Structure 1
Amino acid sequence: MCFMMTGCKYIANAHPKRFANIAHPAAIGLVLVGTVLFFSLEMFYILPMIYDPNGLFFKIAWLIALFIVYNFLGNMLACHRTSSAVTSLPKDRQIPSPEEEHLWHFCDHCQMLVPPRSWHCKLCKCCILRRDHHCIFTATCIGHNNYRYFFWFTMYMLIGSFLSLATHIHLLLINEDMRRQYVILHIAHIIMVIKPTSSEAIALNISFIFNLYACILPLIMLGYQIPALYLNTTFYTLNDRSYNQGLRRNFMAFMGKRGLCTFFSPHIRSPLPHDGTQWQTKPPSSTV
């Protein structure tokens, strides 16, 4: 994973325009196509083999699946559409006040002063407020204004892929005939080139393997993002503790004033405590 990230970063820096033209459509297409395929296979093929299609559990599973897909794709779209660029600030806030000017720094690319914790992205061609990283799956930079959506996008990716994997495992436990179809259960005999006996079995095996990878990717992403959220840092500055204001204030700085309520929908309004230009570097005296 680290090798892939390093390689992508190198190519993006060397050929930003070409990288964006290829990586963005490919990554977004992978997410959309994967969502449709996983949803269709789970809900129309696997789930009816586990629960009675006319039963209560089947209907509850459908409601949960639709809720997850809505939040997954909704947060993905909101993340893409919400700009964290310095230029998204009101005109009067794009210029520091005299008492703040010493905290701002000059960007050679944008040829302007930018707020603390902002830095330039070659792919977005602008400076980003509290820039975390550039995400190819949302085709935008993750920063002060859209971090909330990216975090829940990642979280729902993990929840959805985990529940999808759980239905596969549940099917294996209750259906002996299906167990025989899963090549993954015959690792010791892979050398003998055992092949699935039907197109359905091929689809199940491919889905199961991709499901494993679909669980690993968001798990790794959250492995970076949870410490960043907990300590008020960023992906590239995980060791920086200078902006840590305590868990409650840190969470509000990322998610807004409604905090955990943002989990339920990307459409819930949750104003951030400030515009991303002013950052406290030590806890307030009242909490010391």
Structure 2
Amino acid sequence: MYRSGAVMAWNVFKFCTALKGLGSIMILLVLAVVSVTYYAVVITNFGPGLAAGDLDSLVAFFVLILFHFLLAMLLWSYFSVVFTDPGGVPSSWRPAVDEERGDTDLLTEFPDDLEKRGIRFCRKCNHLKPPRCHHCSVCGRCVLKMDHHCVWVVNCVGALNYKYFLLFLFYTFLETSLVTLSLLPHFIAFFSDREIPGSPGTLATTFLAFVLNLAFALSVLGFLIMHISLVSANTTTIEAYEKKTRRYDLGRKRNFEQVFGTDKRYWFVPAYSEEDLRRMPALHGLEYPSKPDLDAQEF
């Protein structure tokens, strides 16, 4: 029995290590898809169309302007998720305690005693855990308001980069939908009897770009709908799985602001205003407003 458990633990560790290595490959895959799409849309099809001097050139102009804008926002959001730390537990962090009861040095207590009193403790990291914080086996540490570990961005999605992840999904869906629609006539032409201009290489690139962007548009749409529902309830993927979805529900408007901030100028860019960062504790990942009557239900 012990041997079986040891083998299982070893396999899980190997799986987590493999996810780290896979992440670097996924970034290269994302850049490869972007490169193929750029070549098919700009170099092969709509770039040359600018010189036509008719209605087609006007269509090509607007497609290219919108394509480059969405691509810039997509890459800005993507690398913001990749390079932004989702948030770790500060070594000096302590939960609010009742000093009159002598709760001044919680680290001297046993984990079982802390958990009985509703104080969260990570046995792997050996430190106290803030609300909504979870341990990531891939990163090997506790992450503030952890949603999930995403191999596509080689990072955890948590308190400090969740907004950026949502914007990445949003702009990816818009960009891939634009590419799919703009390349649809060229894709249909593959199955027609008329002669199609272009070399076999450019035709194959256009075909591949259409198929890849259609697949990404459909798959990202599903993730986007799921995360919109999570934001509207002010919960995370982990909390939804654990069925802890009510405590932080403050109403749709305030739930949205807990992720995107209150400054509308920053809603669609991967950044926050200084004012929001100063007055909204939830954006720092350590404190969250909640329903008082449900506070006791987290544990």
Match of 2:136 among 95, 99, 121: 121
8 Å contact kept, 1:84–1:146: yes
Higher relative contact order (CA 8 A, sep 6+): 2
How far did 1:49 drift? 6.9
Equivalent-residue separation in structure 2 for 1:151 and 1:30 (angstroms): 20
How far did 1:204 drift? 2.6
Instruction: Tell me the residue number matched to 1:219.
Output: 221
Aligned residue pairs, count: 253
Matched, 1:154 2:169: yes
8 Å contact kept, 1:251–1:259: no
1:181–1:123 CA distance, 2 compared to 1 (3 A): farther
Equivalent-residue separation in structure 1 for 2:81 and 2:221 (angstroms): 19
Equivalent-residue separation in structure 2 for 1:250 and 1:80 (angstroms): 24
Match of 1:280 among 278, 289, 298: 289
Where has structure 1 moved over 6 Å in runs of 4 or more? none
Once the two structures are aligned, what percentage of the paired residues are identical? 22
How far did 1:199 drift? 3.1
SS, match of residue 24 in structure 1: helix
Instruction: Tell me the residue number matched to 1:201.
Output: 203
Equivalent-residue separation in structure 1 for 2:267 and 2:174 (angstroms): 16
So what's the TM-score if we normalise by structure 2?
0.74
How far did 1:234 drift? 0.9
Instruction: Tell me the residue number matched to 2:41.
Output: 42
1:181–1:164 CA distance, 2 compared to 1 (3 A): farther
Match of 1:269 among 270, 273, 280: 273
Equivalent-residue separation in structure 2 for 1:62 and 1:205 (angstroms): 19
Give the aligned CA root-mean-square deviation in angstroms: 2.9
Matched, 1:243 2:248: yes
How far did 1:223 drift? 2.6
Which stretch shifts more, 50-59 or 130-139? Answer: 50-59
Which stretch shifts more, 273-282 or 250-259? Answer: 273-282
1:246–1:260 CA distance, 2 compared to 1 (3 A): farther
8 Å contact kept, 2:46–2:60: yes
1:67–1:104 CA distance, 2 compared to 1 (3 A): farther
Instruction: Tell me the residue number matched to 1:97.
Output: 96
Matched, 1:134 2:149: yes
SS, match of residue 273 in structure 2: coil
1:201–1:59 CA distance, 2 compared to 1 (3 A): closer
Which stretch shifts more, 114-123 or 162-171? Answer: 162-171
1:107–1:215 CA distance, 2 compared to 1 (3 A): same
How far did 1:46 drift? 2.3
How far did 1:32 drift? 0.9
Larger Rg: 2
Return the letter of the residue paired with 2:286: T
So what's the TM-score if we normalise by structure 1?
0.77
How far did 1:267 drift? 4.6
How far did 1:82 drift? 1.8
Equivalent-residue separation in structure 2 for 1:224 and 1:62 (angstroms): 30
Instruction: Tell me the residue number matched to 2:192.
Output: 180
How far did 1:261 drift? 3.0
Return the letter of the residue paired with 2:200: S
The Cα offsets for residues 83-133 of structure 1, whole Å up to 9 and x where unpaired, read as 22333x4x54x2223159855400011100111111100111111111100
Instruction: Tell me the residue number matched to 1:20.
Output: 20
8 Å contact kept, 1:49–1:171: no
1:104–1:39 CA distance, 2 compared to 1 (3 A): farther
Match of 2:73 among 71, 74, 79: 71
How far did 1:235 drift? 1.3
Instruction: Tell me the residue number matched to 2:8.
Output: none
Equivalent-residue separation in structure 1 for 2:193 and 2:85 (angstroms): 47
The Cα offsets for residues 143-189 of structure 1, whole Å up to 9 and x where unpaired, read as 1111010000011111110000000124457xx5x55289xxxxxxx
Return the letter of the residue paired with 2:192: R
Equivalent-residue separation in structure 1 for 2:186 and 2:139 (angstroms): 45
1:51–1:25 CA distance, 2 compared to 1 (3 A): same
1:103–1:153 CA distance, 2 compared to 1 (3 A): farther
Matched, 1:33 2:32: yes
